[in-house]
Structure 1
Amino acid sequence: MKKILIIDDDSRNIYALRLVLKAKGFEVLTATDAPAGIATLKAEKDVKVVLMDMMMPEMDGYEALSIIRKDPELVEIPVIAVTAQAMVGDREKCLAAGANGYVSKPIDVDVLLELLRTTIII
């Protein structure tokens, strides 16, 4: 089973994403802030992809991505940026920060599943 980690400070987003992904056969781990998400990534060696909210208090997704991309144990794990920021240039900013993909909120499930298909070959 493919394991996905959702890092998002909004429990409603986690709940909705978890329902959709579990229905598609994924095992879903969650973290409500970036430090907890990074700790989960270090503890769970078989996470196939991270869905990272980019706008979180304390440590945002950009800072978390920077930490993940500098860690030799985590650098290869694909990260998909999930954000309400959908202005011109936001996608490019996320990709430049180290994300492997980008999806805007509200999440179009078909777009997300296609991204997962191309990112982790589901």
Structure 2
Amino acid sequence: MKVLLVDDDSVHLLILRKIFEKSNHEVVIAHNGKEALQYLEFDSSFQVILTDIMMPIMDGVEFLDHLKESPRTCKIPTIGFTAGDVEYYRAHTKNTFDSLVAKPMDFYDLYNLAQSAVSSHLN
């Protein structure tokens, strides 16, 4: 599985990267939505994207909007996570995340959710 992790929290990135790489998945790291879009310009072969919502430069909601506007990336399963109000983001975002979870989260649950999203997308 090829995974794009987008978060400004280096501890979260380290933990998630280790979990995915332990299972031999390919992981690419971006520190905000703008950086993630730059990766996607050159490589849209990601099978799942996990993104924080509250980040500097470009947050997860704006990133999702750009992602869903592009025919090359609109079908990639996207999992959002936030320390903010999950229900607010569900109700007030133009596009929807495939899954949206609250922080603090169990990183292994997030890993399993990503695997499930990829599996569902392939079927």
For normalisation by structure 1, the TM-score amounts to 0.85
Counterparts of 1:13 and 1:102, CA distance in 2? 16
Counterpart of 2:68 in 1: which secondary structure? Answer: helix
Match of 2:26 in 1: 27
- From the superposition, tell whether residues 4 and 120 of structure 1 become closer, same or farther in structure 2 (CA, over 3 Å): same
Match of 1:120 in 2: 118
Counterpart of 1:57 in 2: which secondary structure? Answer: coil
Counterparts of 1:95 and 1:24, CA distance in 2? 33
Match of 1:61 in 2: 60
Question: Any unmatched runs of 5+ in structure 1?
Answer: none
Cα pair 2:48 2:76 within 8 Å, conserved: yes
Structure 1 residues 6-44: Cα deviation after superposition (integer angstroms, max 9, x where no partner): 011111111111011111221110011111101112212
Match of 1:37 in 2: 36
Identical residues among aligned pairs (%): 30
Counterparts of 2:17 and 2:74, CA distance in 1? 24
Counterparts of 1:25 and 1:109, CA distance in 2? 16
Counterparts of 1:83 and 1:41, CA distance in 2? 22
1:98 equivalenced with 2:96 (yes/no) = yes
Structure 1 residues 58-88: Cα deviation after superposition (integer angstroms, max 9, x where no partner): 2111111111111111111111002122x46
CA RMSD of aligned residues (A): 2.1
Counterpart of 1:64 in 2: which secondary structure? Answer: helix
Match of 1:15 in 2: 14
- From the superposition, tell whether residues 16 and 93 of structure 1 become closer, same or farther in structure 2 (CA, over 3 Å): farther
Match of 2:77 in 1: 78
Number of residues of Structure 1 aligned to a counterpart in Structure 2: 120
Counterparts of 1:94 and 1:50, CA distance in 2? 20
